[in-house]
Structure 1
C-alpha cells in the first residue's frame, strides 16, 4: 500500500419527492462523469430508483442498499472499491410519533478495501427536528440522542485500527450540543468545523438554514486521515418535460478528499 492515498467522497441527500426520476437520472450522469471513489446518498427511497442509479453510474460496481420495494433508511452507497462486509443498523423508535417512521432510518456500516487500505464508511440519515430547535430540552433532541447513541455503539464495535468516516444528512447543525457530544464520545472530528455555510438550500421562508450534511472522521491507530471538503451540486439543474427547470435536490452535496497515511 502506498503511504499516502487520496480517496474522493461525495455525500448527497437526493430528495425523495418531486420529479424524482428525472433528478436521479441527472444525478446518475453527474456521478458517472465524476472521479468519486465512494458516493453516499440519502433519501433514495425505492429499490427501482437505486437500480436506476446503478445503470446510469456503471463506474461504481459495488452498490449497497437494503430492502425489497422500499429501501431501509433510504440509503445507497456506491463504491469503486470492493466491500468486504456491510450491515444496516436501524435506529430505535423514539417519540414523538411521526410519518418519518416509515423511512426506517438507520445507518449503513461498510468495510471497504481501498488502495489506501481498509476503511470503515458509515452512511446515515438521522431524524429531522421539526421544531427547528436543537436545544437539549427540545422533544426532537431526545430522538437525536437516541439515534446517535445507537450509532456510537456501532462505532465502538469497529476495529480501532480502522480509519472511520461517518457521513450523511445528520439533521443537526454543525454547532449543536448533541453533535459535539457525539464527536467527543466517539473520537470523531468534524472535517468542516468552523464552516458556517448551509448545506440545505436556502429558501425565501428559510433564508439561513444550518449545515445538516457532515463528514466526520477518525484516523485508525497508527495511521492518519486528513480531509479537505467542498460544497458541490449547488447550481446543478435538470430541465423537465415542458421546459421547467429544477435543482437536483433541496440539499447541496459535500465532496471530501480523504487522505489516508499509513493505515495499511
Structure 2
C-alpha cells in the first residue's frame, strides 16, 4: 500500500500478478460535501473523473438530482448512473459507471433518535449490480449517520444508531447471494479501528482493503486536527474466488475551479481502490 497521493488522472495500466498480467477494476469513493461552492466544485470533480481511469465512482452528499446531472455532463465517459429520487436524491448517493448497471435500488436506514437535521437526507444505501468485463459486481454505496459526540464507544447514543444502520447493511449485502462479489464503500462515519466497524466487517464476511492504513480520510482542521479514517472500501469475494487489491487516498490537494480559483474538492479525501477478481 502506497503512502503517497495517487494521481487519478494518470495512467496506471494492468497489474502483474505472478506471471499473469491482469486488469484491475478501479473504483473511487468520495464524500463530495453538499455545502459551499457546490456547482463549481462538482464541475471540477466531474472534469477530473472524465480524465481518470476509474471504472466505478461512488459519491456521497450529492443532494440534488440537478447536481448529479451536472457531474454527468462534466464526465460523459460515465454513461451509466444509479441514484434514487427526483429533486432531492435519497441518501445523497450517486453511483457512476463506465459499465452497464443491470439493476439498482435504494434502501433507507431506520429513523432512530436523537432528532437531528441530518434526517432530512434520508440516509441509507444505494445498491447497483454492475456488469463488468469480468462478470457481475454488486456495489453498495452508503453514508451512515454522523457521530456528533465524536465518541465511538459502545454505549454512545450515536454508536447505537450506527449499529442499527449496519444491521440494515448486513441484510442488504446478504441479498446479493454468495456467488457474486460485493464492494461496500462510502462514508461510514466510523473510525477504521472502532469495535462497531470491525464487528460489522467480520459479521458481514467483508474485508477492509485499507485495514492497515492509519491516515485520516477527513481533511484535518484546527477544530479537528487529528480526525480518524471515516471513508472505507470493504469487499467480499464470491464463493470459491478471491478478491484482492489495494487502495490509496486521492484528491488531497487544491484544484483549479472554472473561474481560476484554487479550492479543495471536499472536506473529505477521495479513496481509490484497485480490485482483482481471481477464480
Question: TM bucket by the smaller chain?
Answer: over 0.9
Tell me what 1:126 maps to.
Answer: 144
- Whole-angstrom CA distance in 2 between matches of 1:239 and 1:166: 30
Tell me what 2:273 maps to.
Answer: 256
Tell me what 1:91 maps to.
Answer: 109
Secondary structure in structure 2 of the residue aligned to 1:198: coil
1:234 maps onto 2:252 in alignment:
yes
Shift of 1:236: 3.2
Instruction: Note the alpha carbon deviations across 1:81-116, whole angstroms, 9 max, x for none.
Output: 111111101000011110000000000111111011
- Whole-angstrom CA distance in 2 between matches of 1:85 and 1:259: 22
Aligned to 2:161, which of 130, 139, 143? 143
TM-score, normalised via structure 1 length: 0.96
TM-score, normalised via structure 2 length: 0.90
Structure 1 segments of 4+ aligned residues over 3 angstroms from their partners: 2-5, 238-241
Tell me what 1:214 maps to.
Answer: 232
| Map 1:90-109 → 2, pairs under 5 A | 90-109=108-127
What RMSD over aligned residues (CA atoms) do the two structures have, in Å?
Answer: 1.4
Aligned residues of 1:23 and 1:238 also touching (Cα < 8 A):
no
Structure 2: runs of 5 or more not aligned: 1-19
- Whole-angstrom CA distance in 1 between matches of 2:85 and 2:135: 29
Tell me what 2:71 maps to.
Answer: 53
Shift of 1:5: 3.8
- Whole-angstrom CA distance in 1 between matches of 2:23 and 2:163: 34
- Whole-angstrom CA distance in 1 between matches of 2:69 and 2:258: 21
Shift of 1:245: 2.9
Aligned residues of 2:83 and 2:93 also touching (Cα < 8 A):
yes
- Whole-angstrom CA distance in 1 between matches of 2:240 and 2:234: 18
Aligned residues: 260
Secondary structure in structure 2 of the residue aligned to 1:154: helix
Tell me what 2:29 maps to.
Answer: 11
Aligned residues of 2:209 and 2:235 also touching (Cα < 8 A):
yes
- Whole-angstrom CA distance in 1 between matches of 2:236 and 2:83: 24
Instruction: Name the stretch that deviates more: 156-165 or 250-259.
Output: 156-165
Tell me what 2:199 maps to.
Answer: 181
Aligned residues of 2:77 and 2:98 also touching (Cα < 8 A):
yes
Aligned residues of 2:41 and 2:257 also touching (Cα < 8 A):
no
1:111 maps onto 2:129 in alignment:
yes
Tell me what 1:203 maps to.
Answer: 221
Structure 1: runs of 5 or more not aligned: none
- Whole-angstrom CA distance in 1 between matches of 2:144 and 2:199: 16
Aligned residues of 1:238 and 1:248 also touching (Cα < 8 A):
no
Aligned residues of 2:126 and 2:142 also touching (Cα < 8 A):
yes
- Whole-angstrom CA distance in 1 between matches of 2:255 and 2:22: 35
Aligned residues of 1:13 and 1:249 also touching (Cα < 8 A):
yes
